[in-house]
Amino acid sequence: MGGIPLYFLQFLTMTPLQSQSPLTIESFPAWADELAQALELTVLEREAGADYHQWLVDFEGSRLFLCFQHYADCAWLEALSEQDQEVADWLTGEWNRG
Protein backbone atom coordinates (compact mmCIF):
# COMPACT_ATOMS: atom_id res chain seq x y z
CA MET A 1 0.00 0.00 0.00
CA GLY A 2 1.21 3.53 -0.79
CA GLY A 3 1.64 6.36 1.59
CA ILE A 4 3.90 9.26 2.26
CA PRO A 5 7.58 8.32 2.00
CA LEU A 6 9.34 8.55 5.35
CA TYR A 7 11.97 11.01 4.11
CA PHE A 8 9.15 13.38 3.11
CA LEU A 9 7.54 13.37 6.57
CA GLN A 10 10.35 15.47 8.02
CA PHE A 11 9.21 18.34 5.79
CA LEU A 12 5.72 18.19 7.27
CA THR A 13 6.90 19.03 10.76
CA MET A 14 8.64 22.19 11.82
CA THR A 15 9.85 23.79 15.00
CA PRO A 16 8.72 27.39 15.45
CA LEU A 17 11.33 30.09 15.93
CA GLN A 18 10.91 31.76 19.30
CA SER A 19 10.32 35.46 19.71
CA GLN A 20 10.46 37.65 22.82
CA SER A 21 7.26 39.41 21.77
CA PRO A 22 4.36 38.25 19.62
CA LEU A 23 5.12 38.40 15.91
CA THR A 24 2.76 40.20 13.59
CA ILE A 25 2.69 40.75 9.87
CA GLU A 26 4.03 44.27 10.57
CA SER A 27 6.75 43.34 13.09
CA PHE A 28 8.14 40.34 11.21
CA PRO A 29 10.52 42.20 8.83
CA ALA A 30 12.48 43.93 11.63
CA TRP A 31 12.54 40.74 13.72
CA ALA A 32 13.63 38.67 10.70
CA ASP A 33 16.44 41.12 9.90
CA GLU A 34 17.70 40.69 13.47
CA LEU A 35 17.46 36.89 13.20
CA ALA A 36 19.28 36.89 9.85
CA GLN A 37 22.10 38.99 11.25
CA ALA A 38 22.41 36.90 14.42
CA LEU A 39 22.49 33.59 12.50
CA GLU A 40 24.66 35.00 9.68
CA LEU A 41 22.02 34.33 7.04
CA THR A 42 22.21 36.07 3.68
CA VAL A 43 18.79 37.28 2.56
CA LEU A 44 18.44 36.59 -1.18
CA GLU A 45 14.77 37.40 -1.77
CA ARG A 46 11.83 38.76 0.21
CA GLU A 47 8.23 37.99 -0.62
CA ALA A 48 5.18 39.18 1.28
CA GLY A 49 1.47 38.71 0.90
CA ALA A 50 -1.58 39.80 2.84
CA ASP A 51 -1.04 37.12 5.49
CA TYR A 52 2.52 35.83 5.10
CA HIS A 53 6.21 36.59 4.64
CA GLN A 54 8.60 34.21 2.91
CA TRP A 55 12.27 35.06 2.60
CA LEU A 56 14.79 33.01 0.68
CA VAL A 57 17.98 32.86 2.74
CA ASP A 58 21.37 31.23 2.38
CA PHE A 59 23.55 29.79 5.12
CA GLU A 60 26.94 28.53 3.95
CA GLY A 61 25.45 27.21 0.70
CA SER A 62 22.23 25.84 2.18
CA ARG A 63 19.08 27.45 0.82
CA LEU A 64 16.18 27.86 3.22
CA PHE A 65 12.92 29.75 3.46
CA LEU A 66 12.37 31.94 6.50
CA CYS A 67 8.59 31.83 6.76
CA PHE A 68 5.95 33.68 8.76
CA GLN A 69 2.25 32.87 8.61
CA HIS A 70 -0.15 35.37 10.16
CA TYR A 71 -2.91 32.85 10.87
CA ALA A 72 -0.50 30.47 12.57
CA ASP A 73 1.22 33.33 14.44
CA CYS A 74 4.60 31.72 14.00
CA ALA A 75 7.83 31.81 12.05
CA TRP A 76 10.02 28.90 11.03
CA LEU A 77 12.89 27.86 8.79
CA GLU A 78 12.01 25.53 5.95
CA ALA A 79 14.65 23.53 4.09
CA LEU A 80 14.45 23.57 0.31
CA SER A 81 16.05 20.15 0.04
CA GLU A 82 16.34 17.04 2.15
CA GLN A 83 20.06 17.58 2.76
CA ASP A 84 19.41 21.10 4.13
CA GLN A 85 16.95 19.93 6.79
CA GLU A 86 19.75 19.37 9.32
CA VAL A 87 20.92 22.94 8.73
CA ALA A 88 17.40 24.29 9.29
CA ASP A 89 17.08 22.26 12.50
CA TRP A 90 20.50 23.38 13.77
CA LEU A 91 19.83 27.06 13.04
CA THR A 92 16.42 26.85 14.73
CA GLY A 93 18.03 25.29 17.79
CA GLU A 94 20.73 27.97 17.90
CA TRP A 95 18.15 30.76 17.72
CA ASN A 96 15.79 29.18 20.25
CA ARG A 97 18.64 28.61 22.75
CA GLY A 98 19.75 32.23 22.22
pTM here is: 0.85
Measured between alpha carbons, how far is 53 from 51 in angstroms, rounded to an integer?
Answer: 7
Q: pLDDT of 8-56, one tens digit each? A: 444 456 799 999 999 999 999 999 999 999 999 999 999 999 999 999 9
Secondary element (H or E) of residue 64: strand 62-69
CB of 53 within 8 A of CB of 67? Answer: yes
Calculate the dihedral angle through the C-alpha atoms of 27, 71, 15, 40, rounding to the nearest 10 degrees: -30
Q: Which amino acid is at 22?
A: P
Domain ranges across the chain: 22-91
